[in-house]
Chains A and B, each alone.
Chain A
Amino acid sequence: MNSEKIIETTKLTKAFGSFKAVNEITFDVKKGEIFGFLGANGAGKSTAMKMLTGLLSPTSGEATVAGFDVFTQQEKIKKNIGYMSQKFSLYDDLSLLENIKFFGGIYGLSKEQLNERGTAMIERLGLSDVSHKLLKEVPLGWKQKIAFSVATLHQPKIVFLDEPTGGVDPITRRQFWEMIYEAADNGTTVFVTTHYMDEAEYCNRISMMVDGRIAGYGSPKELKADFKSDNMDEVFVKIARGENYKIQ
């Protein structure tokens, strides 16, 4: 990890009428970092992420992603990022190979690149035997690994993961995190949004959103120390409900 900033925002805001879904958030993500973007449902996470991925124009503030401006260079941003979510990532009724070709094609990979990287990816995952199987016949744990590989096939500078590991078994989950570690080690920045707090502990640094603002920002270790908590769950509870909040 180096100190080059790959995402940088200053007072980034998105308002829907008088409601500020994202309210002046300022943070940065460094190259090769695994950055956790946390918050409860409705805290503004997905709105913020849509702005960073070029799907939504901000109302005010500044932000650059991979060196491109989120106001004016949205198309360039899209070319330099990958995206994977648990809800939607791949087509169930296409085979593994067809999915790779389709998504690689979207990101403008040439035929040669597709063949080369696709084959390499399938071999690395040990899936040569099942590459012609429809995706719906593949177990959930595998799907997530495949989805992640597909999202990084075009070698994006940043990959956005939207709640990637909910519901999978503890072993598959750890295998998945090892893949993320590996990608980060190769210089890809990983931006994870989640409301699973234990997932947060795998990140290098995290930000925690509450009501459209960033209420906590730092490494899990720092945050746990700051909030005198044993785990991120407690940190979240203290941040979300004020430090003195106790459950009756």
Chain B
Amino acid sequence: MAVIKVNNLSKNYGEVEALKGIAFEVEQNEIFGLIGPDGAGKSTLIRILNSLILADKGEVSVMGKDPNKQYQYIRNNIGYMPGRFSLYEDLSVKENLEFFATIFGTTIKKSYNLIKDIYQQIEPFNDRKAGALSGGMKQKLALCAALIHYPKVLFLDEPTTGVDPVSRKEFWQIIKGLHQHNITIVVSTPYMDEADLCDRVALMNEGEILRIDTPKNVANSFDKPLYALEAKEGNYKLIKTLRAYPFLESVFPFGEKLHYTDQRDLDVTQALIEHLEAEGFNDINISKIASNTEDVFIRLMNNQKQ
């Protein structure tokens, strides 16, 4: 049974269309990722789902309830971790947790089983002020606070933004670990590579959902052969030369290399090498590669614009 159902959902802020008629469903006990850059509408969507913002149009149901009318039920049964660190910086770790336990009418003790794995990592800093914690610690504390009342659905708005890679990895381990407690998780992130850690993802851009699928299917949905290129002369000269190449479809810098697609469907490796050598490039390295979420995202964005 779908825990979250959204149909034809729209939300405007003045002239800005934050959400343009989106639709999706989230299944019980699923990790559902909202992947997209700033301004995609991820936070707006999460806030509509958790009843903090009213939609302009469309149907929304969370655990079978309408966030507009039955917000009390929803607020009692969801956990929410906003994008910004939203605990009290002048309160200690323990005081923060105790406070959030009280306002949900529970205690740390009662929820200990659920938060134990996370809480144990920050428990040594129980008396430290939340404001003095590192980014990763803050995230863990905020997550504990969001879980303190055994929510059925957990909303995480960009929990890993601005956090170092080690803490990011640890945080995702924790999210995965919540599976066993039968919690449905909606998580947003601007990091394309985090898509792979979700059960299903919705790629979002400018208020639209570009695609919903499992991360594997999304990555494989690239409809063209993709090549990674590099040469001794560097990416900038390579890009300029390729842009002038008549068979070019698209070329983007991708880390150290360039990702390239051609208008022709056959293997163009040899043709490219010859062309680039003729243009005076050395140490050319071309390989056919499997696409990832970011490649697909770029392609879908381009289609969206057309």
Nearest-CB distance from B234 to chain A (Å)?
Answer: 8
Q: Tell me whether A167 and B161 are in contact (CB under 8 A).
A: yes
In the assembled complex, A40 has its CB within 8 A of some CB on chain B: yes
Nearest-CB distance from B124 to chain A (Å)?
Answer: 17
Of A168, A185, A248, the residue contacting B236 (CB under 8 A) is A185
Q: Tell me whether A178 and B239 are in contact (CB under 8 A).
A: yes
Q: Tell me whether B253 and A177 are in contact (CB under 8 A).
A: yes
Query: If the complex has contacts A184-B236, A201-B256, A221-B256, are A168 and B37 also in contact, measured as CB distance less than 8 A?
Result: yes
Q: Which B residue sits closest to A181, measured CB to CB?
A: B236
In the assembled complex, A109 has its CB within 8 A of some CB on chain B: no
Q: Tell me whether B236 and A178 are in contact (CB under 8 A).
A: yes
Of B134, B234, B237, B301, the residue contacting A170 (CB under 8 A) is B301
Q: Which of A203-237 contact B (CB under 8 A)?
A: 220-221, 231, 233, 236-237
Give the distance in Å from the alpha carbon of A231 to the alpha carbon of B191 in the complex: 14
Nearest-CB distance from A155 to chain B (Å)?
Answer: 18
Query: If the complex has contacts A167-B37, A167-B190, A198-B193, are A236 and B253 also in contact, measured as CB distance less than 8 A?
Result: no
Q: Tell me whether B256 and A181 are in contact (CB under 8 A).
A: no
In the assembled complex, A166 has its CB within 8 A of some CB on chain B: yes
Query: If the complex has contacts A41-B134, A41-B164, are A167 and B38 also in contact, measured as CB distance less than 8 A?
Result: yes
Q: Which of B191-221 contact A (CB under 8 A)?
A: 191-193, 205
In the assembled complex, A91 has its CB within 8 A of some CB on chain B: no
**A195: B residues at CB distance < 8 A:** 162, 164-165
Q: Which B residue sits closest to A237, measured CB to CB?
A: B166
Q: Tell me whether B38 and A168 are in contact (CB under 8 A).
A: yes
**A247: B residues at CB distance < 8 A:** 169-170, 173
Q: Which B residue sits closest to A163, measured CB to CB?
A: B162
B158-191 to A contact mask, C-beta < 8 Å, 1/0: 0001101111111001000000000000000011
In the assembled complex, A121 has its CB within 8 A of some CB on chain B: no
**B297: A residues at CB distance < 8 A:** 170
Nearest-CB distance from A28 to chain B (Å)?
Answer: 20
Give the distance in Å from the alpha carbon of A152 to the alpha carbon of B164 in the complex: 29
Query: If the complex has contacts A181-B236, A184-B236, are A170 and B298 also in contact, measured as CB distance less than 8 A?
Result: yes
In the assembled complex, A94 has its CB within 8 A of some CB on chain B: no
**B298: A residues at CB distance < 8 A:** 170-171, 174
**B294: A residues at CB distance < 8 A:** 170
Of B191, B236, B254, B302, the residue contacting A182 (CB under 8 A) is B236
Q: Tell me whether A181 and B302 are in contact (CB under 8 A).
A: no
Q: Tell me whether B255 and A201 are in contact (CB under 8 A).
A: yes
**A168: B residues at CB distance < 8 A:** 37-38
In the assembled complex, A67 has its CB within 8 A of some CB on chain B: no
Q: Which A residue sits closest to B305, measured CB to CB?
A: A171
Among A181, A182, A220, find the residue whose CB has the most chain B CB atoms closer than 10 A. Answer: A181
Q: Which of B23-75 contact A (CB under 8 A)?
A: 36-40
In the assembled complex, B252 has its CB within 8 A of some CB on chain A: yes
Give the distance in Å from the alpha carbon of A42 to the alpha carbon of B138 in the complex: 14
**A182: B residues at CB distance < 8 A:** 236
Of A41, A178, A240, the residue contacting B135 (CB under 8 A) is A41
Q: List 21 A-B contacts (CB under 8 A).
A: A40-B135, A40-B167, A139-B39, A140-B38, A166-B161, A167-B37, A169-B40, A169-B301, A170-B192, A171-B252, A171-B301, A172-B37, A174-B298, A178-B239, A181-B234, A182-B236, A198-B191, A233-B165, A237-B165, A237-B166, A240-B164
| Interface residue ranges, B against A (CB under 8 Å) | 36-40, 134-135, 161-162, 164-170, 173, 190-193, 205, 234-237, 239, 252-256, 294, 297-298, 301-302
| Interface residue ranges, A against B (CB under 8 Å) | 1, 40-42, 139-140, 166-172, 174, 177-178, 181-182, 184-185, 195, 197-198, 201-202, 220-221, 231, 233, 236-237, 240-241, 247-248
Given A236-B165, A240-B166, 10 further pairs, Cβ under 8 A: A42-B134, A166-B162, A170-B297, A172-B37, A177-B253, A181-B234, A181-B253, A220-B256, A231-B255, A233-B169
